[in-house]
Structure 1
Amino acid sequence: MELSPFLQDLSRQPIIQRLMVVAIYALLAKAVDIFVNRILKRLAAAYTTTDLDDKAIDILHTPIVVSIFFVGILHALSMEPGLSPPWEKFVPDVAKSIALVIWTLAALRLFMVLGEHYLDSISERGKIGADLFLLLKNVVRVVIFVSALLWLLSIWNVNLAPLFASAGIAGIAVALAAKDSLANFFGGISIFADKTFKVGDYIIIDNDQRGEVVEIGVRSTRIMTRDDVLITIPNSILANSKIINESAPVPRFRIRVPVGVAYGSDLAQVEAVLLAVAAANPAVVQEPEARVRMRSFGSSSVDFELLCWVEDPRLKGLEIHNLLKGIYKAFAENKITIPFPQQDVYIKQLPEAGEK
């Protein structure tokens, strides 16, 4: 009976009340810890096929538990009567700073895990070059770190105006010194964002250079031509060039084979022979079907064009070669004449003997 008044008086002490609040939050943090370890991790392992969620839970586990505990500390410190100067400001700021550091490290770890998880798939699908992706990852890491640093300075009421002014001057100097590099970098970003092309696509640049995109880099893009010549083009130039993507929206590519036959040929037979040659070529797809179009009456021939599709633009040159050989053989077998330009010279009158 004598102990009860003592406990009542003790419970009225501010330090005991604060400790009770911290203890309650500590129990809540422990409950969350048990829930994550015994339930959430098992659910993630049982119902998902990737280990990405398991890694994310491991990374976020500690920050969540520690944050709950620190919220309890901040709650306890906010209770009346307040702490005496300078502790009423110093202790909460220390708690907030520690929580911020923990969450910043967790964010960096989580972003690195996401980057490693998606790097291989992005590179395999050819959406973006590995070095450009790594640079973007580093840029995001710097952004996270700088944001956390600015937040930490704001917690401690540090005046950021001089810092921003210095950063603005330094930024102008860097931009002027590295304007070409920055132009190439943002050119690569615009290529990625606009999805103009990706690694593996066949493109034509300004109706001139044609080749396969082999790498989209930080500064430049590399294209392999059909002559096995590697062309390196700065991204700033490429971003402002006319690009024809032969692999988009689907890799299937239409090829055109011009053919001329002699006047007097059976046009229906010519069309049937051309379609048969296309059907016999295994590289020509069946859907869409090949078609033949009569284009014009030439000076010495009736001009046709065989239109058909191949699976990949890189087959364009080879299959035109194969189709022309097949057409030549088929025309010979079906006695269809392929005319060639010729001129007939008529002499109206021969000069008399002795005339010059």
Structure 2
Amino acid sequence: MKKNFLRHMGLCILSAVMIFASGCGAKVELTVNKDLSVDEYSQYYLTEQEIAQLINHFGPDVVEEPFHKVTINGKQYSRVIQEKNHHKKGEAEQFFAEINKKYIISEGSAFAGMEDGTEIGEGNALLQEGVPSIEFADAVVECPYPVYYTNGKVRQDGRTVDFDLRKLKEGEKFYAVFDKSLYDVDKVDFTGVKNNGIYNNFKKVAIKSKGVLTYVDYQEIKADYSSNSNSNSESMGVTTDGYKNWYFGTDGVYKLQTKLLNGKKKTVKFTIDTTKPKTNMKNKTYKKGVKITFSDKIAGMKSATLNGQKIKSGKKVNKAGSYKLVLTDKAGNTKKVSFKVK
């Protein structure tokens, strides 16, 4: 029980390290076997100050495990946890976004052994108490086959790769490739949207490629978070499960960007607009002349008609009568207003 509790504490701390780039350090050694099972040897480190904060947050029982003093890069740490685990095939996704006989790829934070949002939240509580900056976060991956392409450092055996997790930039992946032919693959397909497409519903975008995607991220060119009120979905904003399936639940203009092993980039740009055009006109009777204004924040206006005649924003109406205003944006959202002028 004590060992499991301490491992949970270590994962809390390390989750905080990987997500918020604060506190302590970690070394994770992984051996990927030919059957795609994975042997894990993890070591988590804290300074005395961080241990004190850990005790303050989780209570004195956490110190019953004996600490091992070590010096790394001239700085003294206490090794809080050493853990060995064997993960069967299909259980190693906690470390790798993809693992197969051609390549392995990870988002870096997966090496932290993060398991759920609760641990992340508990780790964050430590950060609020002032844990200092991360000093090191290293992963060593022993691969089952020779490595031909990687953004890590290959050792002399040709199969073991050292990764410094701090060097991972937003959207970048850590990878080791065993199949030379993957370098020549430069095709990427995006399903769910078309380039320069405009949509009036939220979208799931899947990325498909037989190659290795070393970078995947999105750019928010324009967004309207008030559109979240149009959705009953619990998934708002932009979310992803893994790195090849993306969910866009907020109105906006987006670019989903990828980079292949050979450096070639593939991008899809699209617009989501679930909101009707805005206008100052109401369904009511006006006692005097009016000036009609309208706009559309995301997709832009496609057409505007008043009693069937095209008009521009700023149109003045002084003549008494009944009017029907129809506004349509480029996503197909339509706003209709019926009003009278006396």
TM bracket, shorter-chain basis:
under 0.3
More helix by share: 1
Normalised by the size of structure 1, how large is the TM-score? 0.27
